Amino acid sequence: MTARPNIPAIAAAPLAERIGRQWDADIVPQLVEYVRIPARSPHFDAGWAKNGHIEAAIRQAERWVSAQGVKGLDLKVLHLEGRTPVLFFDIPATGGLGNERTVLFYGHLDKQPEMTGWREGLGPWDPVIEDGKLYGRGGADDGYAVFAAISAVMALDAEGVARPRCVGLIETCEESGSYDLPAYLDLLAPRMGDVQLVVALDSGAGNYEQLWVTTSLRGLVNGNLEVKILEEGVHSGDAGGVVPSSFRIARQVLDRIDDSRTGVVKPAAFNGDIPADRLEQARQAAAILGDSAWKRFPWASSCCDDQGTASIFAEPVTKDPVEAVLNRTWRAALAVVGADGLPPAHSAGNVQRPFTTLKLSLRLPPSVDANAAAAELKRILEAEPPYHARVTFSYDQAASGWNAPPVAPWLAAALDGASQANFGKPAAYMGEGGTIPFMGMLGAKFPDAQMLVTGVLGPKSNAHGPNEFLHIDFAKKVTVATAMVVAAVR
């Protein structure tokens, strides 16, 4: 694909004015209502179909899109038997452009579970607007996407700016690994036609001062490690020193995966080479971010001065900005994200517990095949169990990462122009540590398409965790920048 010669310059100011008004008057109130919907992804709500929250979220989006009066809009909520629904829209090209070239917008409406630790006055389903930020689960990750996509299209049309055909696929299974999405892609890909550009508004930003383009995403293996040594709990005074602790056994087998002192993941199967271009982009991103590459996280204080002010904080694995960027984008990392078999501390007796179950999250470099990694993780953890304990690992998600194709010159120019017009700075490029299975699926379906993966998850926005927020002003600017890039597609 090449850019159309002599594409007229697009003025950002009129687009920004229209989009800003729509966000303030209409989109923000819609997102407030969306935050109230506990639309947990299927992995976190086994009764999702009966409970109806996912359906409520997608129907809210459907009503809003339908009410916008977009000329030529074809809008559908699709339900395949036994699968989570998707919202699909199709908007014809304008300004004399044909419909043979297409921009595909992607987003999702399902959410992560509540998580503990929300500060007083905030909650996952209790929207609060404070200091220009909308707090609550899902607004930034990434309920805003469908609203931003339609707002971008509407602003271009209102300003008479020619644009290509725009279609949208908004799913409700992303936080569970998008396992329902391939069936919908098979159904809809023939209708989408020749996709020139995929716009995925579900990613991160290194700061709130420029447009950030995601160049890669890590893969993921999620699963449960269970260590069982007894059939029932026994008095720790009776068994201590004779019966090995199931937790200690779990620690031993996890040491096969990562170094408990450094966090370095050891098996070669979970590591890969970093391409030279991604290494250079990491250096450029680190130069922009500096110490914020690690200071962006909410470190706990470990010591306070006489006035009670924190003076010593927990520290990162590395303070080198380049290494911090690479560690979270192109290197494997293991985290224990949940546990069973451990009673709350206030009610725990002196009992040697019969089992320990740990929920593991293994992030993988973009180049590692997740299914092969999952099988190898299971083999390593279960081999030769200490004390002949019953050690099992069952994985419920294996999603490979993604490495973007080279950015075409027209897209690089459009991204820089959009970022300069809205932020006064060029676009920045960086990998992200999260996983969007959709991108690999789209890359397979549309191998010649260019990819714009961007988003609003900047410093402290804390997707998946407590106090998640959407930075409203930044989201407006990302919407304007997206509109400008879409108008450059020919």
DSSP assignments along 103-143, one per residue: EEEEEE--B----S-PPTT-BTTB-EEETTEEESTTIIIII
Helix, strand, coil proportions of the chain in percent (round to 5)? 35, 25, 40
The 10s digit of each residue's pLDDT in 447-464 is 999 999 999 999 999 999
* Residue 345 pLDDT exceeds 70: yes
Using a pLDDT cut of 90, give the percent of the chain over it.
91
Sequence-ordered alpha helix ranges (H) in 328-384: 370-382
* Residue 243 pLDDT exceeds 90: yes
Q: pLDDT band at 313, cuts 50/70/90? A: confident
Q: pLDDT band at 443, cuts 50/70/90? A: confident
Residue with the larger pLDDT of the pair 359 and 437? 359
The H-or-E segment that residue 56 falls in is helix 53-67
Taking residues 18-38, report their average pLDDT.
98
What does the pLDDT read at residue 197? 97
Q: Which two tokens stand for residue 343?
A: 């009673």
Q: Which of 2-11, 44-53, 76-85 has the lowest mean pLDDT?
A: 2-11
Taking residues 370-384, report their average pLDDT.
97
CA–CA separation, 405 vs 330, rounded Å?
16
What does the pLDDT read at residue 6? 52
What does CATH list as the number for 219-278+329-399? 3.30.70.360
pTM of the model: 0.90
Q: pLDDT band at 7, cuts 50/70/90? A: low
Taking residues 163-181, report their average pLDDT.
96
Q: Which two tokens stand for residue 242?
A: 């004779």
Q: 422, 481 in Cβ contact below 8 A?
A: yes
What does the pLDDT read at residue 1? 41
Q: pLDDT band at 10, cuts 50/70/90? A: confident
Cα Dmax for the chain: 83
What does the pLDDT read at residue 3? 42
Q: What number of other Cβ atoms are within 10 A of residue 203's Cβ? A: 23
Taking residues 296-322, report their average pLDDT.
84
Tell me the β-bridge partners of 333. Answer: 363
* Residue 362 pLDDT exceeds 60: yes
Does the bond joining 194 to the residue before it have cis omega, within 30 degrees of 0? no
* Residue 5 pLDDT exceeds 80: no
What does CATH list as the number for 12-217+401-487? 3.40.630.10
| Mean of all residue pLDDT scores within the chain | 95
Using a pLDDT cut of 70, give the percent of the chain over it.
98
What does the pLDDT read at residue 337? 95
What does the pLDDT read at residue 209? 97
Q: Which two tokens stand for residue 150?
A: 């339609």
Q: Which of 234-243, 408-417, 435-444, 475-484 has the lowest mean pLDDT?
A: 435-444
- State the burial class of residue 217 (Cβ atoms within 10 Å of its Cβ: 0-12, 13-18, 19+): buried
Q: 342, 226 in Cβ contact below 8 A?
A: no
Q: What's the CA angle centered on 80, arms 110 and 174, to 5 degrees?
A: 25
Contacts of 157-161 with C-beta under 8 Å, sequence gap 24+, read 157/70, 157/71, 157/94, 158/18, 159/11, 159/14, 159/15, 159/18, 160/95, 161/10, 161/95, 161/487
Identical fold for domains 12-217+401-487 and 219-278+329-399, yes or no, is no
Local structure of residue 125 (DSSP, 8 states): T
CA–CA separation, 256 vs 152, rounded Å?
49
CA–CA separation, 86 vs 151, rounded Å?
19
Taking residues 288-308, report their average pLDDT.
86
What does the pLDDT read at residue 309? 74
Residue whose C-alpha is closest to residue 333's, from 401, 257, 280, 269: 257
What does the pLDDT read at residue 304? 73
Domain ranges for the chain, please list them: 12-217+401-487, 219-278+329-399
Q: pLDDT band at 129, cuts 50/70/90? A: very high
Residue with the larger pLDDT of the pair 9 and 313? 313
